[in-house]
Amino acid sequence: MNDGEGTSPSGIEAHVESADFEIGNGDQFQFIHRILPDVSFFGSTDPTPAVSFLLKPRNFLGSGFGTSDTSTITATKTVDVQEFTEQAFVRIRSRQMAFRVESSGTNIAWKLGASRIDLRPDGQR
């Protein structure tokens, strides 16, 4: 929630990050179009608590997180999720993907549940 150091409270940088996931053996691209977040903010005293979901694409094993083939997709896609966010629409394509949930605000407590990511196969290379 907050760092107890000093006279004024400051937020703690908290995050949870997944391992890379892929479709099949990684020979197909995947297209993610929607996130269904499951985050509880019980215990938060901030009036509008929020976390960020980051989708991190990777096109080849061992490579860094890079940009997608389409010009509208950047290296990572960030979606802000608040207490009553039911779904968030995104457009991102890659062979492998990792997702990260993070926050750094003050007075925010959160617990990650079973969030869902809608994806579909999107061709081979």
Domain-embedded: residue 99: yes
Domain-embedded: residue 63: no
pTM metric for this prediction: 0.75
Q: Are 106 and 17 in contact (CB under 8 A)?
A: no
Q: How many domains does the chain have?
A: 1
Domain-embedded: residue 69: no
Query: Looking at residue 2, what is its pLDDT?
Result: 65
Query: Looking at residue 105, what is its pLDDT?
Result: 82
Q: Note down pLDDT in tens along the chain; length 125 residues.
A: 666 666 677 778 889 999 989 887 778 889 999 888 888 888 888 888 888 888 888 877 666 665 433 323 334 567 878 877 888 888 888 888 888 888 888 888 889 899 899 999 987 65
DSSP 8-state code for residue 12: -
Q: What is the 3-state secondary structure (H, E, C) of 40-94?
A: ECCCCCCCCCEEEEEEEEECCCCCCCCCCCCCCCCCCEEEEEECCCCCEEEEEEE
Structural domain range at position 111: 12-51+79-125
Domain-embedded: residue 92: yes
Query: Looking at residue 118, what is its pLDDT?
Result: 92
Domain-embedded: residue 114: yes
Domain-embedded: residue 36: yes
Domain-embedded: residue 87: yes
Taking alpha carbons only, the member of 34, 31, 33, 35 closest to residue 94 is 31
